[in-house]
Amino acid sequence: MAGPTGHGPSLGGALGDLLRAQVTPRHRLSSYTARHWHAQLSHLTKTHRGYRILEDAGLHVTTKTLVNWLSDPEYSVRRSYRDVIHTAYENAAFVPAEPIPAQVKNGQFEISGTVKTGADERVRGTRRAAPLRIDGRRGHWDDIETLWAAGELTDEAFEDHFIDDVIVEDIGEGTDGWDFPGASYAVELR
C-alpha cells in the first residue's frame, strides 16, 4: 500500500510538499494586519494569549498605564514601548509550526526522479531503476526541525539538510556526493 507522497520541481520541493501534507507549518494569521502601535496593543489585549505575549516580549506596565494607552491613541508612549508592542504583535501574528511527526523522521523514503552521484546519473523510480530508498531513522533531524519550527525551512534548505543529514547518514557520501538535478520529483513515505 502506498503511503503519503509529495511532488515538486526539486527534491526539496517534493519533501516540503510531503511534510506540509502531514503537519501545519508556521504561518501568519491574516487577521494581524494593524500597523499603528495603538491598534496592535488593542488587538493583543483582547486575549489572555496576547497579554502573555506582551509580557514575554518585555512589556511590564501597570494596569492603569495600559488603560491610559488604550483610551487615547495619541497618548505619548516612549519609542521603546512601541517597539516592544510591535515585536509582541509580530510574534502573536504567527501560529507555531506543529512538530515534525515521528512517522516522518522514522519513515522509509522512496525518491523518484533524477539522482546523480559522481558519474552515475539515472532516473529512479521507473521500471528500469528502483526509487532511491532512504531510512529516515538513521538521519539527524535537529537542523531540519529547528528551521521548520522557525518557519525558515525553504525547499532549498530542506534539500540540502536532507542530503547531508539524512541521506549521507543512511547510505554514505556516494561516489562524489549526491545531486538531484532533475525537474520533477516524487517522495513517498512508507
pLDDT for 29 equals 86
Rg for the chain, CA atoms, rounded: 23
pLDDT for 8 equals 98
pLDDT for 141 equals 98
Strands 132-135 and 108-117, by their bridges, are: antiparallel
pLDDT for 28 equals 82
Taking the CA of residue 145 as centre, how many other CA atoms within 13 Å lie in the half-sphere pointing to its CB? 12
The residue ranges of DSSP E strands in the chain, in sequence order, are 5-8, 27-28, 94-95, 108-117, 120-124, 132-135, 185-189
Cell of 14: 517534493
User: d(Cα 30, Cα 28) in Å, to the nearest integer?
Assistant: 6
Q: For the chain, 190 residues long, give each residue's pLDDT as a single digit of tens.
A: 578 999 999 999 999 999 999 999 988 888 889 999 999 999 999 988 899 999 999 999 998 999 999 998 888 899 999 999 999 998 898 888 999 999 999 999 999 999 999 999 999 999 999 999 999 999 999 999 999 999 999 999 999 999 999 999 999 998 889 999 999 999 999 9
